[in-house]
Amino acid sequence: MSRKPENSSQKIPSQGSVVATAHSAACLARLKELSSAKESVPFDFLELRADFLPSPIPSAPRPLLATVRHPSEGGNPALTDQDRRERVQGCLRLADLFDVELARGERHPEVLQHPRRADFIAIASFHDFEGMPAIDQLQEKIEQARERGFDLAKFAVTPKNHYQLADLVELLQTSPLPLALMGMGPLGPISRVVLGQAGSVLNYGYLNRPNAPGQLPAAELHRLLATLKRET
């Protein structure tokens, strides 16, 4: 049975919001530096890759997006299924947003049944490190995410040319669900700027070093998108 998200679109992040990803001890050290500094923090959300980080998850200077990625989509292969389940449970207690793979969303019903569902954002994600599915296949995934009750869909794919990047821009304009879209590989850096300006609601950069091919530093991505926003 089709199910719409239970909550208002008012809680969805603004278009062009930047996510800084922390996935190592060095990232956590950098995060601590930023938290204690008087200068503004150059991102809107913090993603903690809990499949790579030790428990418990730390406090954050920005709303917290938690991810426990499966190895088939770039997660930590050292974790067992039980390890991942435990980390999901631990993250759900503190996170403001939670990212679960669309292919495994039904294995984690607690994400969509979160007690703070009124202001908690559930993200359905899909990753393709080798290429990019046809647009109609991505549209099907958007519909699956919408029917299951997710608030937004996140696709990280690997476009091979600018035509495919243009297809992703068009997908943003026609989707019935808010999207976080990004490219990986050689077109990754430009895709994150173009798609962030075109309407992608979450745009991922890194704190210390990339954890996906084509990532920009979060601070640089934040600066570029802010500059483009002022000039348009």
Q: Is the pLDDT of residue 113 over 90?
A: no
The sign of the dihedral angle between the CA atoms of 230, 174, 138, 78 is positive
Q: Is the pLDDT of residue 41 over 80?
A: no
pLDDT value for 61: 67
Residue in the block written with tokens 């994600």: 125
Whether the CB-CB separation of 100 and 109 falls below 8 Å is answered with: no
**pTM of the model as a whole:** 0.89
- What pLDDT, in 10s, does the model give residues 8-38? 455 889 999 999 998 888 887 877 777 666 5
50 contact partners, CB below 8 Å, separation of at least 6:
57, 66, 67, 68, 87, 90, 91
